[in-house]
Structure 1
Amino acid sequence: MKVSQEKTPKSQVTLTIEIPADKSKQAYEKVIKNLAQTVRIPGFRKGKVPRPILLQRLGPERIRAEALENLVQDTVMQAVKEQEIDALGNYQIEPGIDELLNRYKPGEVLIFAASMDVPPEVELGDYKALEVKAEETVYDPEQVDRFLADQQSKVAALVPVEGRAAQRGDVVVVNYSGRLMVDGEVSTEVIAGAEATDFQLELEPDKFLEDLIAGIEGMNPEEEKDILVSFPEDYAREDLAGQQAQFSVKLLEIKEKELPELDDDFADDVSRFETLAELRADLESQYQKQAENATNASIEGAIAQELLKIATIDPPETLIQQEVDMTIRQTVAEMEQYGLDMKTILNADMMPTLRENARPEAIERLKTSLALEEVARRESITADPAAVEEKIKGILEQLAGQAIDQDRLREFVTKDLVENQVLAWLRENITVELVPKGTLNPPKSEAEPEETTVEVEAMPTAEEE
C-alpha cells in the first residue's frame, strides 16, 4: 500500500492511498468466504453453498460493496497509524462511495483520498510584549446604602393615604385597559395582556411603563383618566415595540410605604445577621469581591483579545462543532436556572438557527483556548495534580447522584486550570494598564446601568445598580 500525505486548509490532512491489486482481490475473496460460511440458502447446508450460487443469490454488487467498505476502513486506519496522524472525528473519502464502488474491480489497483481533521497549528507572535488596557471596577460604599434602602422598600408596610393625589414612590391600586392607536384613532380591541383590575402598581422608574406611571401621578382616588403611552422601540413584545396606545385608568386607592428603621431588628428580620453592623460588613465584603472579580474578568478578557490579534489559527470543523455543542449546552443550562423548560422551547426546526447563531462565539472561544494552550506548551505550564483532584471532588459533590463521565470531567477540569494559570502568568509578564470603568466600553446610556447581585442568607436576592 502506498500512501502520500498533504496538508490542506482548515486544519485537515489528505491521505492519497493506493491499494495494490492483490489486496483489492483479497478483500473481495474474504467477503465471499465469510458469506459462504454464514448465509443460509434453501437446499444447501450452512457453509456448503457453491460460489456460483452465492454470487447469483446475493449479487456481485452487494459483495463488492461490502468488500469495498471493509477495504477502505482497514486501509485508512492503517495509513493513519503509519503516518502517525492525530485524526479528529471521522474522515471523508474522495471520490464518494458510489463513484468509488464503480471504480472498484477486485484484482485491480484502487486509488482514493481520505481527508480528516487534525489538531490545528497555532502560530503566535511575541506574546510577552503584549500591552493591554482593562477597565477597573472600584468598590463604591454607596452600593451598601442603596441595597439596604431597597430592602427597606421591599419589607415596608403599606399605609392607606387620604387627602392627596398620587405621587412618586406611592403604591396605587388601579383598574386599567390598553388599546392600540391606529391611524390616530383608538382601537376597539383591548391589547392582549394589557387589562387588569385591582392591580397594585409602584410609581417608581422601571417598575412599569414610564408614560403610564407619569400619567397616574397626580390622580385622586375614584378618578378616571385616558393616558397616551408610547412603547419603547426595544420593548420585549415585538408586536408592541414602537407603538402608541391609550390606557384607560381608574385609580382605586393610594398607599404609601412606611419604612422600617435601619437597626439591628431590621438586620435580624431580613438576614442571618443579628446586628446591622454585621450585615453592613458582609455586604461591603461582597461588593468589594464583586469589584475585584469584575476587574479580573476585564483584565483576562483584554488579554485574550490581544492574544488573538497576534495568533494565526485555522480551527478544524470537528473542534468547532464540539465548541458549538458546548455553547448551546451552557446556554440551555443558564436558561433552565431561570425556570424555563427548554425541552418545550427547543425543537428540531430551530436547532439549525441556534447552532448558526452560536457559531461565532464558539469559534472565538475555541481560538482563545487554543492560543492559551500554545502559551502553556511553550512555557511548560501544567495543572497541579492536587488542584485537579480537589476541583473534581467539589464538582462531584455538587452533582451527587448524576451520571458523570469521569474522563471528560478530568479533561475539562485540567484544561480549565491550565487556562487560568496561563492567564495569571500572562498578567504577571505583560504590561497591563487599568483605566476607569466605562473608558473602553461606555454604557449605552445613563438609564442602563450595569447590574450586580449580592446575596444575604435568608433574604431574597436583590439587584444593586
Structure 2
Amino acid sequence: MKITQEKLPASQIGLEIEIPAETSKNTYEKVIKEIAKTTNIPGFRKGKVPRPILLQRIGSERIKAAVLEELIQDSLEEAIKQESINALGNYKLRSDFEELINTYKPGEVFTFLAAVDVPPEVTLGQYQGLQVKAEEVVYNEEDVNKLINERREKLATLIPVENRPAQMGDLAVIDFEGRKPTETGEEGEIIPGTEAKEYQVELSDGKFIAGFVEGVVGMNIDETKKLNLTFPDDYHQKDLAGQGVIFTITLKDLKEKELPELDDDFAQEVSEFETIAQLRESLEKQYQEKAANDTKQNIHGAIVAELLNHTSIELPDTMLEEEIQTILLQTANQLQSYGMDVNQFFTRETVTKMRETAKPEASKNLHTNLIIEKIAEQESITIGDDELAVKIAEIRETLKDREVDEAKLQKYVKHDLLAEKTLDWLQEKTQVELVPLGSLTPEEEEDSERENEES
C-alpha cells in the first residue's frame, strides 16, 4: 500500500492512499460472499445465489459502496499505523464518495484522499521577559468587620419597640397594598402582587423599590401612610417597569435588634476559637491569604493573555469539539447541583446555541493549556510523585462521600499542579506592574488586544 502525506491547515495530515489491485479484488470478493450469505432471495438458499442474480437484485452500486467502505476503513487504520501518525478522532474522506463508486473497478488499483486530525504544533513566541499589568487585590479590614457583623446579626435578639418611630435597622411588620394611580392622581385598582398582611421587612437599603423603606422610617405603630412611588425601569415585571404606584402602608409592629457583645463568649458561639482576638486573627489571615491569592490569579491571567498574543497554534476540529463537550458537561453538572432538570434545559435549540457560545472559551482553554504544556516541556518543569500524592490526598478529604475516578482525578490534579508551577516560573521571569482593582476595564483590555493584533 502506497501512502503519501501532506500537511493541511487546522492541524490535519492529508493522506493519499493507493490500494494494490490484489487487495481491491480480494476485498470485493469477500464482501460479495458476506452479502450472499445474509441475503434472502426467493428460490435460492442463502449463500447459493448466483452472482449475476445477486448483482441484479442488490445492485452493483450498493455492493461497490459496501466494498469501498470496508476498503477505506481498513486501509486508513493500516496507513495511520504504518506511518506512525498520532491521529485524533475520526478521519475525513476528502475524495467524493459517489465519484469513487463510479470509478472503482474490482481488481484494479484504487486511490483515495483522506485527512486525519493530529495534535497541533505549538510555535512558542516570547515567553520570558514579558511586561504585564495586573490588578492588585488589597486586604481590607472592613471585610473582616463585615463578616463578624453578619454573624452578630444572626445571633441578634429582637426587642419590641415602644415610644419611638421606626428607624433604619428595625424589623417592621406591615400591611400594605399598591394601586395604580388614575389620570387625576387618585387611587385605582390594586396591582396584583403588591399587597400583603402582617409582612415582616427589615428596614435597610435595597429592600423593596426606592422610597418604600424610607417611607416606613418615621412611622409609629398603628399609623397608616400613603406613598407615591415609581417602579424602576429595570423592574423584573416588565409591565410595571417605570410605572407609578400608590402604596398604602400600616405599621402593625416594630422590633429592634439587640446585637451580642463582641466578646469571648461570642467568639466561642460562632467559631472554634476561645477568644475574640483569636477569631479576628484567624479571619484576618484568611482574608489576607485570599487577597494575595486573588492577586496572584490576576497576574497569572495577565501572563496567559500576553502569551496568547505571542503564540501561534492551529487547533484541530476534533480537539475543539471535545473541549466544547467538556464545557457543556460541566454546565450540566452545575445545573444538576442546583436541582434543575437537565433534560428540560438541554433542548436541541439551547444546545446548539450553547455550543456556539462555548467555542471562544473552548478555544482559549486549549490554547492556554497547550502553551503552558509546551513551556513546561521546554523548561523541564515537572511534578514529582510526592507533590502529586499530597495534593490528591487533600482533594480526597473534600470528596469523602463521593465516588471518584482515580485515573481522572490524578490526570486533573497533575494538569493543575503543572499549570500552576509553570505560571509561577513565568511570573518570576515577567515584569509585573500591579494596578488598583477595577482599573483594567474591559474597554482598556480590548484596546490592548487590538493593539497587539495590529503590531
Please name the residue that 2:227 is paired with. 226
The equivalent of 1:254 in structure 2 is 254
C-alpha root-mean-square deviation of aligned residues, in Å? 3.1
Contact in 2 for aligned 1:170/1:255 (Cα 8 Å): yes
Deviation of 1:130 after TM superposition, in Å, equals: 0.7
Whether the 8 Å contact between 2:27 and 2:71 is mirrored in structure 1 is: yes
Aligned-partner Cα distance in 1 for 2:188–2:374: 64
Gaps of at least 5 residues in structure 2 are: 444-455
Whole-Å separation in 2 of the counterparts to 1:406 and 1:46: 51
Per the TM alignment, residue 183 of structure 1 is displaced from its structure 2 partner at its CA by 9.1
Query: Do the aligned residues in 2 keep the contact of 1:227 with 1:249 (CA within 8 Å)?
Result: no
Q: Which amino acid aligns with 1:127?
A: Y
Change (3 A) 1:106 1:340: same
Partner amino acid, structure 1, of 2:8: T
| Matching of residues 116-135 of structure 1 within 5 Å | 116-135=116-135
Q: How many residues align?
A: 440
Structure 1 residue 53: Cα displacement: 4.5
CA distance in structure 2 between the aligned counterparts of 1:28 and 1:151, rounded to whole angstroms? 79
Tell me what 2:146 maps to. Answer: 146
- 1:190 alignment partner in structure 2: 191
Task: Determine the structure 2 residue equivalent to 1:451.
Answer: none
Unaligned stretches of 5+ in structure 1? 444-465
Cα distance change, pair 224–139 in 1 and its aligned pair in 2 (3 A): same
Matches within 5 A, 1:233-312: 233=234, 237=236, 239=238, 242-246=241-245, 248-250=247-249, 251-312=251-312
Measure the CA separation in 2 of the matches of 1:169 and 1:442.
37
| CA contact 1:40–1:46 (8 Å) conserved in 2 | yes
| Residue deviations 1:267-301 (CA, integer Å, cap 9, x gap) | 22222333222221221121112112111111111
Out of 350-359 and 158-167, give the one that drifted further: 158-167
* Equivalent position of 2:368 in the other structure: 368
For the 8 Å contact 1:28–1:106, the answer to whether it is kept is: yes
Question: Does the CA-based 8 Å contact 2:177-2:190 persist in structure 1?
Answer: no
Q: Distance in 2 between matches of 1:212 and 1:435?
A: 40
TM-fit CA distance, 1:116: 2.3
Query: In the superposition, relative to structure 1, how do residues 89 and 263 fare at CA in structure 2: closer, same or farther (>3 Å)?
Result: same
Q: 1:106 to 1:314 in 2, by over 3 A?
A: same
SS of 1:196's equivalent?
strand
Q: Deviations over 1:30-57 (max 9, x none)?
A: 1123344555666656655543454445
1:344 to 1:17, Cα distance in 2 relative to 1, 3 A: same
Structure 1 residues 433 and 255, CA gap change in structure 2 (3 angstroms): same
Pairing of 1:38-49 with structure 2 (within 5 A): 47-49=47-49
Q: Deviations over 1:4-37 (max 9, x none)?
A: 2222222222222233433322211111233445
Do the aligned partners of residues 144 and 392 (structure 1) sit closer, same or farther apart at CA in structure 2, a change above 3 Å counting? closer
- Aligned partners of 1:180, 1:98: CA distance in 2, in Å? 70
TM-score (norm 2): 0.85
Percent sequence identity over aligned pairs: 46
Contact 1:268 1:274 in 2 (8 A): yes
Conserved 8 A contact 1:95-1:112: yes
Provide the C-alpha distance between the structure 2 equivalents of 1:311 and 1:182, rounded to a whole number of angstroms: 65
- 1:273 counterpart SS class: coil
Distance 1:149 1:123, change over 3 A: same
SS of structure 2 residue aligned to 1:129: coil
Residue identity in the other structure for 2:243: Q
Supply the distance in 1 between the matched residues of 2:85 and 2:188 (Cα, whole angstroms). Answer: 70
Deviation at 1:358, TM superposition (A): 1.9
Distance 1:195 1:329, change over 3 A: farther
Aligned residue for 1:95? 95
The code of the aligned residue for 1:367 comes to H
What is the match of residue 169 of structure 2? 169
Match of 2:18 in 1: 18
AA aligned to 1:228 is L
Mark the CA change 1:230 to 1:199 in structure 2 (over 3 Å): closer, same or farther: same
* Contact persistence 1:92–1:115 (CA under 8 A): yes
Mapped contact 1:174–1:249 kept (Cα < 8 A)? no
Equivalent position SS for 1:349? helix
In 2, distance between residues paired with 1:23 and 1:177? 87
TM-score, length-scaled by structure 1: 0.84
Secondary structure in 1 aligned to 2:128? helix
